[in-house]
A and B are shown apart, each in its own frame.
Chain A
Amino acid sequence: MYNRGPVIVMELPEQLRQAEVKIFLDGLRPLLQTDRPRIVLDCSKVEHIDSAGVEMLLHCLEEAMKRDGDLKLSAVSPASAIILELMRVDRLFECFPTSEQAAQSFHAYGAGANPPTQPWYSAAFRTADLKAAS
Chain B
Amino acid sequence: MNLGAIIVIANPGGTFARKPPAGDVLRGNSLSCFDVAGRSLTERIIDRYLGAGIDLVSVLIEEPACGDLSTFHVTSAKVNIAVVSDLNSAIARRLQNYSENGLARSFVQWTNVYAETDLLDFFYFHRASKLPVTWAFDADGSLPMCVIDCANRPTIDFPLAAQNPAQNAASYLIHGYVKRLTHPKNLREFAADMLQGRCECRPSGHESKPGVWIDASAELHRGARIVAPAYIGRGSKIMDDTLITRLSCIEKNCCVDCGTVIENSSVLANTQVGIWLDVCHAVVSGNRLLSLSRDMTVEVSDPDLIRFTAAASRSTSEASHRLEDYRRAPDFQTPSALPEAWQFVSNFIRE
Report which A residues bind B (CB closer than 8 A). 17, 48, 50-52, 78-79, 81-83, 85-88
Q: In the docked arrangement, what's the CA distance between A80 and B279, Å?
A: 14
Residue total for B at the interface (Cβ-Cβ under 8 A): 16
Q: How far is the CB of B285 from chain A (nearest CB, A)?
A: 14
Is B276 within 8 A of A50, CB to CB? no
A85 proximity list for chain B (CB < 8 A): 278, 280, 291
Given contacts A50-B305, A51-B305, A78-B294, whether A83 and B276 have CB atoms under 8 Å apart is: no
Is B277 within 8 A of A88, CB to CB? yes
Most chain B beta carbons < 10 A, residue from A50, A51, A78, A85? A85
Chain B residue with the shortest CB-CB distance to A50:
B302
A82: which of B276, B294, B301 is its contact (CB, 8 Å)? B294
The SS class assigned to the A binding surface is helix
Is B302 within 8 A of A88, CB to CB? no
B160 within 8 A of A: no
Is A81 within 8 A of B294, CB to CB? yes
A50 proximity list for chain B (CB < 8 A): 300-302, 304-305
Is A86 within 8 A of B278, CB to CB? yes
B296 within 8 A of A: yes
Given contacts A87-B278, A88-B276, A88-B278, whether A79 and B305 have CB atoms under 8 Å apart is: no
B289 within 8 A of A: yes
Q: How far is the CB of B136 from chain A (nearest CB, A)?
A: 38
Is B289 within 8 A of A51, CB to CB? no
A79 proximity list for chain B (CB < 8 A): 296, 298
Which 3 pairs across A and B sit closest by C-beta, in order of nearness? A50-B302, A88-B278, A79-B298
